[in-house]
Structures are given as C-alpha cells and as structure tokens.
Structure 1
Amino acid sequence: MSEQTFTPSETHPRQAEFSYEVGTRLVDSEGNQTLGRTGTITTPHGTIKTPAFIAVGTKATVKAVTPEQVAQLGAQAVLANAYHLYLQPGADLLDEAGGLGKFMNWEHPTFTDSGGFQVMSLGSGFKKVIDMKSVDNSGPDDAVAPGKERMANVDEDGVWFKSHLDGTRHRFTPEVSMQVQHQIGADIMFAFDELTTLQNSRGYQVESLERTRRWAQRCIDEHFRLTDTRVGKDYQALFGVIQGAQYEDLRRKACRDLSQMPFDGFGIGGALEKENLGTIVGWCAEELPENKPRHLLGISEPDDIFTAIENGADTFDCVSPTRVARNSAFYTSHGRFNLSGQRYKRDFTPLAEGCGCYTCAHYTRAYIHHLYKAKELLSHTLISIHNEYFTVNLVERARLAIEDGTFYQLKEQVLAEYYAGGPDPQNPPAR
C-alpha cells in the first residue's frame, strides 16, 4: 500500500454555512450507546432532520411525481445525478436557470451524486447496478457485463467514457466533476471516486482506493477554487466517498485518509453484499468524525434501513420506490405486492389500510389496477407517491423512535410484519 503523499487543504471560511448537529444517541436494550443517532443538517435551502430518506430525482425529477407532491409526501431533500444532467440537458443550462432547485421548482435541500457510479457501472455494461457477486479475489480486474464492451476506461487523471445516450466520448476528472456539480448547484455534492466491483482483485481494490484518495484531494482543491470564483452563489457542501469493498482494513483506511481532509460530510459507497451492510457501515461510523453527516448510497429496503440507522448512517437514497412502482409493485406493512394481479380488479380498498399518503386517501386498488392495465401513466404517479411516502415515513418513524427510546421495538414489529411472507392480507387469493 503506497504512502500518503498529499497535504490536506485548510478549511474554507464558507464551510460555516453548512453544518451538522448530533441530536439523540440510539441506546440498545442494555443501555449501551450505539453508533445510531438523530441529527440536523443545515443547508442554504433548509434543514434535514436525520435519519432521513432522500428521494432520488436522477434527471431533476422524481420519476412520475411533481416536486410539489414530493414535498407533500414528506421528503426533505432530493438527489439528482451529475452524470445524467451533464449529458442532458447540460450543467451550463442548469447554472443559467439558477441551479437545480430553481430549475425543477424545488425549494428544499438538494444533493448531487458525482456521476462516478454511472460512469463505471454503465461503462461496464451493468446498467443501473454493478456486479455484487463476490469471488476468490483473483480478478478479473476488467470486470464487464456478459456480452458487453467496456465503455469507460480509468487512468490516474480521470475516466474516458462513452455516453449511453448516443455513444459520444466524454472525459470526467475530479476537476470536471466539481465544475459540473457547481454548475448544477446542489446544496450537497459528492467527490468523484472510482467504483470497483466485488469481481475486482484485492490488489486492484488497493490501487483504486489510493486513486480515489488522490482524486478526493483534487476535488477539494477545485471545490474551494470554484467557491472563491463563483461569487454570489450559495455555499455547496462536499462529501468524500468511502470505498474499500468488503475489506475492513481498506474501509477503515479510507475513512482515516478522508477524515484528514476538510470534507463537510461523507458518503459510504462501493460494492458490498447485503449481509455485510451493517458491519461495513459500522466500521465507517467508528472511524469518521462524529460532527459530520454520513450518507449511505443506494438503499431502501426496510431491513437495510434499520440496519443502516443503528450502525450510524444519517441519510440514504435509492431509486427503488419509483422504479418498482412503474411495474405495479406497492409497499405495505405486510410486504410488497404487485397490483397487476387479476384479483385487484374489483378491490375497492386503498393500497394500504391506514396509510396517510395522498394516493391512499383518494384512490382504490381497483382504479390503479385499471390504469396500469390500460397503460395509463397515472398509475406510475399514484403508486410512486405511495411508495415514496411509505419509505420516507418509515425512516421518520425510526427517527422519532430513537428520540423516545422505542427504536428496537419498532424495528422488531416492522420487520416481523414486512417479512412474514404469505398473501396480501387485504386481498388474499381465492381458494
């Protein structure tokens, strides 16, 4: 493992415009303090009470849902993607519009992913996911999806990649990612990092981690330069991204290295298997500064949510609530079901009894089933509103449960019901 060669930057005076304050600590059944906590993130466009689920608006929209509806269902912030917005409509256009929030008529806090995930995953032909199958650490280091050609190539300076839209060639470096994200104008940005998969050898993971560390310093330097030159703009916080796959020593090293840099917070990313989620988040939370927020990239399942929270994650995001909605899947306290089933044709109950969302207050399963079967796009909207509300509300309940000391009771109740299996109790199949 190579020696550190960087000189950490000084903090920037405008970093005081962003802050995180720890609230209540999560205490276990024996009275021991855990890594979980509540807190408050303060940005130029408002506060975020944590833990919080951040709705994903990849292309400056939460798919099929208006920004007003996103706010009404309780989301405190949205996360857009620098890779997609860079390709279409262009970061310069968002800058001209006054930034992401003004462009999409969203008055609350915003995040942007650096684009690193999409450059690597789409560039390897894995589309919206990466290969999470663990191997014997022997490689291959050039992991590509079966039948696909590599569309992204990494070097020390950055990444060459082809657009998934039209095949045109583009270049992302840490500096370019910062320039793009400053133009997009989100309250919270992520440093440009190299995403590896579990197919990569340990040797490559070590090499990649060092490259991500060097890129992190370059991101900070460019971020501070842009903060000084883009006079009159709101301060944008920058989070460093923790990689290291499933290796404890690499994850802890990444946390220690990036903690020496003046990041405003941290993202926990990279390849990991679901069963190791809590352990890896815990390693990171033990190493990262107490007074800075931690964002876990890409989770939304109830068991993952509780695991992430109790191990120290403050915020997290995932496209799943709206993605599954477009295939008629809806969440209930008893699990996830598909509205496409014929038995829902005459089901005049809401998607979930007792749900407080707009969809459940006004529409029936029978109506939404009809919309879906008729290929009417309103079905996407109504199910998406419900699924986003379900996820946002679940995390809010977890936050309140930390404050009143009932987190573990809530976790046990929610997970026992959600993963019990069996048919939809509101509409069991006919015998």
Structure 2
Amino acid sequence: MTLITFRKDATDGKARTGVLSTPRGDIRTPAFMPVGTAATVKAMLPESVAATGADILLGNTYHLMLRPTAERIDRLGGLHRFMNWDKPILTDSGGFQVMSLAALRKLTEKGVTFKSHIDGSRHEITPERSMEIQKLLGSDIVMCFDECPALPADKTRIAQSMRLSMRWAQRSRDAFGDRPGHALFGIQQGGLEQDLRAESAAALTEIGFDGYAVGGLAVGEGQEAMFGCLDFASDQLPQDKPRYLMGVGKPDDIVGAVARGIDMMDCVLPSRSGRTGQVFTRHGVLNIKNARHQDDPRPIDDACTCPACTKYSRAYLHHVFRSQEMISSMLLTWHNLHYFQQIMDGMRKAIAAGTFTRWQADFHANRAGGDIEQL
C-alpha cells in the first residue's frame, strides 16, 4: 500500500485545491515545482528555494544519469542527501530531453538509444532502465517513460507515438513494482487530438497510477491550442488523483491550467529568466537590463517580500546585472521563484474561498496595467 495520498479540499469550477501527502512532507496543490535540472536550482541554495514556498522540486533523469550518474548518487546516499533537499522530489523520465537534446537518437519498441550531448557517449533508456535510474536517485514521485513527439505532427504519427507510450507505460508500471512511500505517475499523450487523448487516458487508467500527467504540451503549439486541449484533457483523467501539466509555464499559462483542473506544474522559466534579467511581477514582465531602471531607487515590486524587493533597488539590480555579477542571478531568480509561489498561494486561497473567478480577473487586470511609471 502506498504511503502517498491525495486529498481534494475544495473546488471552484474545475479548479481544485488540496494536499498531496508523502513521507517527506505535504505538497499543497495547486503546486509549482522549481526545476533542479542537475541536482540544483541554478543560483539558489536549497534553503532559499524552500523559503520561497516550494514544497517539491523536480530533478532531471536524463541529465543526472549522464552526470554524475544515478549509480554515483545512489552510493552517496540518494538525491535528497546529495543536493541537501529534504522535501519531496519528482523526477521526469528522460523522454523529453532525449527528444530535444540528444544527438543521433534511435527509437525502437524496446526504447531509445542516443549519444550524450555532453561527450558523445552512447546510452540507452528503456522503460525498465528509466525506472531503475529513478529508483537509484530515490525520488518520491517517478514518471513513467514515454515518447514526446514535437508538434506540429500529423495525426498518424501522434497516434503511433501515443500507443508506443502506452505500451511503455505498462512496462514502466511492471518495472516500478511495489514501492511504499513512492508514487508512479502515468503520462497522457495524444497531441491536440481529443480522441487520441481519450484513448491514452483510458489506457493509463486501466493500468492504474498514483497520479496522471498531461504530456506533450508546451512544445510549440501556443497557449490557445494548449488551453483548448486542456479543456478536455484534464476531464479525461481520474478525478481522485493529482494531475500534472509538464513543462508549464508562464504565469498566465499556470493560472489558465489551474482553471482547467491541473494540480501540479513545473518550468525552468522563473530561474532561467532570472539569469537573463527578465523579472516577473504582478504588473507583468520587466527587463532589469533596460536603462530606465539605472537611476530608480524603488524596488521591483513594493508589495513583494522577497530579498530582492525588500533590500535592493532597481538601480542596484540593474547595475549588478549589467556588470555580470553573480548576485544578480541569485536575487532575480529568488524574486521570480517567490512570485510564482505567491501565485500558487493566491490561487489556493481563492479556490478554498470560492472566489477564484474574481482572483483571476484581478490577476489579469494587474498584469495588463503594466509596470510602474518611470521616474
């Protein structure tokens, strides 16, 4: 019997709030998972990530299996100890990175062989190997191994890919076995096609998973198409299990996904943007590199309680970014992650209070208003 449980506490329309409980701690949903690709959220200490309000991190199977290797992490006590993070960790299966990063990949019924983007060494991932790697890492939530075709693609190709992923889902389930305290999530595929998504959801439900992901979105199809798919895809998945939208996204993507019944999301955007000077705020997006900030003594957002906003001016943040100082990435990443977690906290409270529609209207209105006037 698994020790991981999901409890829905309230709904408002399709939006849900609740708790995904694990032996390493509770995950409040809707939840945003910062991405710790190579066993670190770039420019952040683990305790700083926790301070932003994150209940769970994502680790990347593809990157960790190549360097430092899952076997080494296992010998050193598992991923939690290795990276000094004692809360839950979800690991992806490696399928998306094989599609997007690996050179000379070869896809067969068995799995995928590819050359490392780091040193050209040859590797193979199968559903069984993906389960083995994620077990060595010791992650709390494991993703089944799937193939993620790039969109756009013709329906025949999408159908073939989805059915292969469903066969791999069964093999992942079989290889995962019985691991109390650890969860296995299935991944729905099918592109933007409602009938293929339904077929995928039915196959996954029959196999039986602890949670279900909507995969194969946020791969270039655009927000309107993604939302159109989520309008039906979420409803096709079991109501009593957590639903995870992989690789999403921008603040308005996240809010729209929650409105369509999604419980969990991850994205590199807040940390990657922090390193490039792009700052997300309740008033929209600003670029700290712009000259308009160089004499501005005001904070990025006077209502934000992160260290970048409470202790530093726009002028200082502009200066350290332009000077390529490391503190720039640290502070801007902290701010972005903090802002994303504030969005999640606001949605959880609004759903619980039955005021999510009004909360969404205020969220969009604030962002549409734009940044504060230049001094």
Q: Give 1:392's aligned residue.
A: 341
* Residue aligned with 2:310, SS: helix
Local SS of the residue matching 2:224: helix
Report what 1:25 is aligned to.
11
Q: Which residue of 2 aligns with 1:152?
A: 105
Q: Give the structure 2 partner of residue 87 of structure 1.
A: 66
SS of 1:151 mapped into structure 2: strand
Alpha-carbon RMSD across the aligned residues, in angstroms, is: 1.4
- 1:54 paired with 2:46, answer no
Tell me which amino acid in the other structure corresponds to 1:262. G
Instruction: Say whether the 8 Å CA contact 1:300–1:391 is kept in structure 2.
Output: no
| 3-state SS, counterpart of residue 197 of structure 1 | coil
| Residue type of the alignment partner of 2:7 | E
Shift of 1:338: 0.6
**What are the within-5 Å matches in structure 2 for residues 17-416 of structure 1?**
17-26=3-12, 34-123=13-102, 151-224=104-177, 227=179, 235-271=181-217, 272-416=221-365
- 1:367-398, Cα deviation, whole Å (9 max, x unpaired): 12111111111100000000000011111101
* Aligned-partner residue type, residue 337 of structure 1: L
Q: Deviations over 1:154-177 (max 9, x none)?
A: 110000111111111110000010
Q: Take 1:95 and 1:367, find their aligned partners in 2: how far apart are those partners?
A: 42
Q: Report percent identity of matched pairs.
A: 40
What whole-Å deviation, never above 9, does each CA across 1:103-128 have from its counterpart, x for those lacking one?
Answer: 111111111011100001113xxxxx
Aligned to 2:14, what secondary structure does the other structure show? strand
Deviation by residue 1:192-239 (Cα, 9 ceiling, x = unmatched): 0001122322111111111100000000111006x4xxxxxx632110
**Unmatched runs of 5 consecutive residues or more in structure 2:** none
Q: Does the CA-based 8 Å contact 2:214-2:234 persist in structure 1?
A: no
Computing the radius of gyration from Cα coordinates, the structure with the larger value is: 1
CA distance in 2: counterparts of 1:211 and 1:174, whole angstroms: 11
TM-score, length-scaled by structure 2: 0.96
Is the contact made by 2:194 and 2:233 (CA closer than 8 Å) also made in structure 1? Answer: no
3-state SS of paired residue (1:419): helix
Cα distance in 2 for residues equivalent to 1:187 and 1:382:
29
Deviation, 1:426, is 4.7
TM-score, normalised with respect to structure 1: 0.84
Provide structure 1 residue ranges, at least 5 long, that are not aligned to the other structure.
Answer: 1-12, 27-33, 124-149, 228-233
Corresponding residue for residue 136 of structure 1: none
Query: Counterparts of 1:176 and 1:303 in 2: how far apart (Å)?
Result: 36
Distance 1:303 1:199 in 2: 23
